[in-house]
Amino acid sequence: MSSASSTTSETQPIMDLEREFLLQNYARYPLVLDRGEGCHVYDVEGNRYLDFIAGIGVNALGHNHPRIVKVIREQAGLLIHSSNLYYHRYQGPLARKLAEVSGLKRSFFCNSGTEAMEGALKMARAHGNKISPDKFEILSIENSFHGRTLGALSVTGQPKYRHDFEPLLPGIKFLPQNDIAALESAFSQRTAGIVIEWIQGEGGIFPISAEYGRKARELADRYDAFLIFDEIQCGVGRPGTWFGYQLASPVVLPDVMVAAKPLACGLPLGVIVANEKAAAAIGPGMHGSTFGGSALACRVALEFFEILDELMPSIRRVGDYFRARLRELARKHSFIREVRGHGLMIGVDMTVPGKQMVLDAQARGLLMNCTHDTVLRFLPPYIVTEAEVDAAITILDSIFKAQPSE
Ligand SMILES: Cc1ncc(COP(=O)(O)O)c(C=O)c1O
């Protein structure tokens, strides 16, 4: 595999220009990507990388997928965007497909994860408002991540993201994950909703227990509050089921579910999917989006769902294989504490920081990232093969061997 992270002639001016003219909010890796093919990307210097982060879980079919490229080309020549003043051919069929796979009836399309979360919070607030002015509290889980806009940030259970922007929404309570007693005592008649990631992503790949999910369902029913699942990172095929909440048997159905990242294989598309009761909270004029659900994004998402139908067994098989191979590494390298995840959402929890390992992996031709300082996170494309997992494992093993603690 040819790879190197050297910053040569083309790379440096691109980075310099950004440093001069962009908000300096991102700590980008020194890598300028140029094109991709399948599970690989190439930088502007021609170096090739195995892409095991896939645009943070967005590029579900990798890069340059022939069917996705074909429909983008075709639809771009017909109609890209029409606004929600008018109908187009693709929102209805996509919403029907989402209803089939999610078990929830009605969709609202938007453009990103955080925007979907905003809409879901508005649903819970509007529902509470109809019942009592005091019913506005939202419960959320410590260590969660729900987005960067003010509402989504208000329910994000990591103070480091919130503290610069306080005061945020009132009436938010954070609960320890999987603590059923805390969950029971947090609910009251003031609770309008509870927001849960079935598998925390940004927080370090931590699944909730089915028992916890079931208890949240029961309490939401008892207190007439909305159960909202954030499936933005852990949903849409990534866990080897359509959505994370379908990992539980029997399934724990939420009132509202939000998804985004992989939905349109790289085009911005987010969605709120709700049951009839939750959908009724939003009446005419109460919510909207200019860009949401464009013809282009919805058509791509429909094509993606057709492909995903066939990919599901391989997501489970290759995901299991990847975890098994990582567990072999864990037996060899004592600083690996645990390998977690479902399907192709995988975290390697370590006793040492992972930041330098991410750079070392990049220098050897593997893209991954590190979350929560010590968790290596892998969100490879759904088309990844066992052979590509083997290539990643070889690189990881060489990096782990070079650790000072070894
Ligand atoms: C679970 C979860 N919710 C919400 C978001 C926010 O999504 P976006 O960045 O598309 O706004 C993310 C993004 O990483 C996420 O992982």
Which residue minimizes the CA distance to atom 13 of ligand 1? 147
Pocket test of ligand 1: the residue of 25, 148, 233 to mutate, having most ligand atoms within 8 Å of its CB, is 233
Does the beta carbon of 36 sit less than 6 angstroms from any atom of ligand 1? no
**pTM score of the predicted model:** 0.97
Does the beta carbon of 114 sit less than 6 angstroms from any atom of ligand 1? yes
Q: Which atom, in ligand 1's list, is nearest to the CA of 202?
A: 16
Compute the distance between CA of residue 308 and CA of residue 315 in angstroms, rounded to an integer. Answer: 9
Which residue minimizes the CA distance to atom 9 of ligand 1? 113
Compute the distance between CA of residue 304 and CA of residue 382 in angstroms, rounded to an integer. Answer: 11
Give residue 349 CA to ligand 1 midpoint distance, Å.
Answer: 21
Cβ contact 405:337 at 8 Å: no
Cis peptide before 133 (omega within 30 of 0): no
Statement: residue 187 has pLDDT above 80: yes
Does the beta carbon of 153 sit less than 6 angstroms from any atom of ligand 1? no
- Could you read off the pLDDT of 385-402 as tens digits, one per residue? 999 999 999 999 999 999
Statement: residue 316 has pLDDT above 90: yes
Statement: residue 7 has pLDDT above 80: no
Give the pLDDT score at 3: 46
Q: In what order do the strands lie in the sheet with 336-342?
A: 336-342, 345-350, 375-378, 369-371
Which residue minimizes the CA distance to atom 3 of ligand 1? 146
* Look-up of token digits 């085009």: 267
Does the beta carbon of 147 sit less than 6 angstroms from any atom of ligand 1? yes
Statement: residue 141 has pLDDT above 60: yes
Statement: residue 4 has pLDDT above 70: no
Alpha carbon separation from 257 to 166, 231, 247 (Å, rounded): 26, 7, 15
Compute the distance between CA of residue 387 and CA of residue 114 in angstroms, rounded to an integer. Answer: 35
Compute the distance between CA of residue 384 and CA of residue 62 in angstroms, rounded to an integer. Answer: 8
Give residue 113 CA to ligand 1 midpoint distance, Å.
Answer: 5
Paired sense of beta strands 191-196 and 137-141, if any? parallel
Compute the distance between CA of residue 370 and CA of residue 209 in angstroms, rounded to an integer. Answer: 24
Mean pLDDT to the nearest integer, 309-336: 97
Compute the distance between CA of residue 179 and CA of residue 183 in angstroms, rounded to an integer. Answer: 6
Task: Assign 1 a pLDDT band (cuts: 50, 70, 90).
Answer: very low
Task: Assign 8 a pLDDT band (cuts: 50, 70, 90).
Answer: low
Closest CA to 2 of 51, 50, 48: 48
291 Cβ contact list (under 8 Å, min separation 6): 81, 110, 111, 268
Mean pLDDT to the nearest integer, 361-377: 97
- Could you read off the pLDDT of 222-279 as tens digits, one per residue? 999 999 999 999 999 999 999 999 999 999 999 999 999 999 999 999 999 999 999 9
Statement: residue 113 has pLDDT above 70: yes
Statement: residue 337 has pLDDT above 70: yes
Q: In what order do the strands lie in the sheet with 270-274?
A: 106-110, 270-274, 256-259, 226-230, 191-196, 137-141, 172-175
Q: Which atom, in ligand 1's list, is nearest to the CA of 56?
A: 14
* Look-up of token digits 């960067």: 148
Give the pLDDT score at 406: 62
Does the beta carbon of 252 sit less than 6 angstroms from any atom of ligand 1? no
